């Protein structure tokens, strides 16, 4: 499959990197301390900012800051365990800076740490939870990503794995949403691929091998 585009916008966790094990450990510890009653591992929570999840589960304004600081610390401490997913290293290292970026729900320190731990470049126009007032599923991260690259959202392609992220991309009006992994089959992505293996982009033509498509 070939698709004409100006820029690529990537979610990070579950698309470029595997941080699941570290996240399970961090959130499990956090829940035991602050909210043992919540189902923090519900797939519906995937792709959302930690700040938004904590605010949903911690009713006390006095406790919110402490709880939010704690999950940030736990996730930062586990960032070293992040690894690159198939195809991510080759794809990102093959592209120049101004045609791609990452739009992650992680905070800036965590996003950078996970990319570095996985051996992936940190993009010049990185968008994190700290840069937007509203996180996914709102369109703000992808609107800002396109803006920072200097492109119309309609000329961009988003790579996502989570329902909230795909919804954010669609609401941003991007040209194409590519779901990544079997997990993304539950999203409204236009197409779904197994991973990023064999995908190339030269700033004009995005090539996705048909053999890597799941939908």
Question: Catalytic: 152?
Answer: no
Compute the radius of gyration of the chain from its Cα atoms: 17
Question: Catalytic: 190?
Answer: no
Task: Tell me the longest C-alpha to C-alpha distance in the chain.
Answer: 52
How far apart are the C-alpha atoms of 146 and 158, rounded to whole Å? 10
- 136, 164 contact by CB (below 8 A): yes
* From 13, 18, 161, 190, active-site residue: 13
Containing 158, the helix (H) or strand (E) segment is strand 156-160
* From 11, 52, 161, 190, active-site residue: 11
Burial of 42 (0-12, 13-18, 19+ CB in 10 A): exposed
Backbone angles phi, psi at 68, to 5 degrees: -70, -40
Region of residue 181 (left: phi > 0; alpha: psi -120 to 50; beta: else): left
How far apart are the C-alpha atoms of 67 and 132, rounded to whole Å? 20
What are the residue numbers of the active site?
11, 13
């Amino acid at each position: 499959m070939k698709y004409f585009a100006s820029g690529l916008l990537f979610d990070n966790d579950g698309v470029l990197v595997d941080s699941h094990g570290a996240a399970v450990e961090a959130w499990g510890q956090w829940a035991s301390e602050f909210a043992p009653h919540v189902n923090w591992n519900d797939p519906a929570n995937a792709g959302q900012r930690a700040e938004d999840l904590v605010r949903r589960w911690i009713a006390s304004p006095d406790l919110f800051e402490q709880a939010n600081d704690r999950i940030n610390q736990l996730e930062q401490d586990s960032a070293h365990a992040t690894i690159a997913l198939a195809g991510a290293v080759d794809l990102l290292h093959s592209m120049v800076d101004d045609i791609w970026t990452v739009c992650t729900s992680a905070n800036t320190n965590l996003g950078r740490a996970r990319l570095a731990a996985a051996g992936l470049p940190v993009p010049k126009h990185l968008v994190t939870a700290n840069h937007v007032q509203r996180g996914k599923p709102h369109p703000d991260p992808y609107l800002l990503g396109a803006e920072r690259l200097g492109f119309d959202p309609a000329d961009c392609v988003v790579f996502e794995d989570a329902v909230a992220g795909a919804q954010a991309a669609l609401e941003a009006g991007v040209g194409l949403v590519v779901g990544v992994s079997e997990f993304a089959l539950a999203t409204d992505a236009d197409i779904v691929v197994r991973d990023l293996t064999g995908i190339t982009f030269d700033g004009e033509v995005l090539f996705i091998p048909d053999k890597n498509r799941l939908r």
